[in-house]
């Protein structure tokens, strides 16, 4: 039975650099790992604690089930206004109290056109996930991402590929211990 990894891209753009990172990372995990991208960020309603445990919207029920079924989660996020995108934060708000990310192994990646490589977004995401008791396996920041991904969406930068390979090895080792 393959290991299940849920892929969460913080950007909703169809041609997102962070989506390209997830796709390249997924290929590095090997045949023993099944990576499933989520569309939850596209459909989740704005968080409202009135519906956190009763009359939970179906999109939230589905999102929680995806997380619960995953052996691990990989996040890739851009940086918007020095933080994580609203849709990504909203998705996490829906699971703070329900616990699907407690003790869940996670990988964090962030890409930006700036020299900071989404580092502030990654710091914010890591803080949020640590509060939720997730197990952070590794973090990769990718600065100047447009020079590192070609027109077909392939990662062409050796340093970025090396960093993702290292994260992939860490994740597979953690999941197979």
Q: Is the pLDDT of residue 171 over 90?
A: yes
Q: How far apart are CA 40 and CA 20, in angstroms?
A: 18
Residue of 84, 131, 77, 87 lying closest to 109 (CA atoms) = 77
CATH of domain 3-175: 3.40.50.360
Which alpha helices (DSSP H) does 9-103 contain, by range? 17-28, 40-43, 58-69, 86-93
pTM of the model: 0.96
Backbone dihedral angles phi then psi of residue 133, each to the nearest 5 degrees: 65, 30
Q: What is the pLDDT, as a whole number, of residue 15?
A: 86
Task: Check residues 67 and 54 and name the one with the higher pLDDT.
Answer: 67
Which band of pLDDT confidence, cut at 50, 70 and 90, is reported for residue 118?
very high
């Amino acid at each position: 039975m393959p290991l299940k990894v849920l892929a969460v891209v913080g950007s909703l753009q169809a041609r997102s650099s962070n989506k390209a990172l997830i796709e390249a990372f997924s290929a590095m995990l090997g045949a023993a790992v099944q990576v499933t991208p989520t569309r939850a960020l596209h459909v989740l309603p704005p968080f409202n604690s009135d519906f956190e445990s009763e009359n939970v919207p179906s999109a939230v029920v589905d999102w929680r089930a995806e997380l619960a079924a995953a052996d691990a989660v990989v996040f890739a996020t851009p940086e918007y206004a020095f933080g994580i995108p609203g849709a990504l934060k909203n998705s996490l708000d829906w699971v703070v109290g329900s616990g699907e990310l407690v003790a869940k192994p996670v990988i964090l990646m962030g890409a930006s056109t700036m020299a900071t490589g989404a580092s502030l977004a990654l710091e914010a995401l890591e803080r949020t996930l640590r509060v939720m008791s997730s197990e952070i396996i590794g973090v990769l920041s990718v600065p100047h991402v447009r020079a590192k991904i070609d027109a077909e969406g392939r990662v062409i930068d050796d340093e970025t590929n090396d960093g993702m390979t290292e994260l992939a090895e860490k994740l597979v080792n953690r999941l197979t211990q």
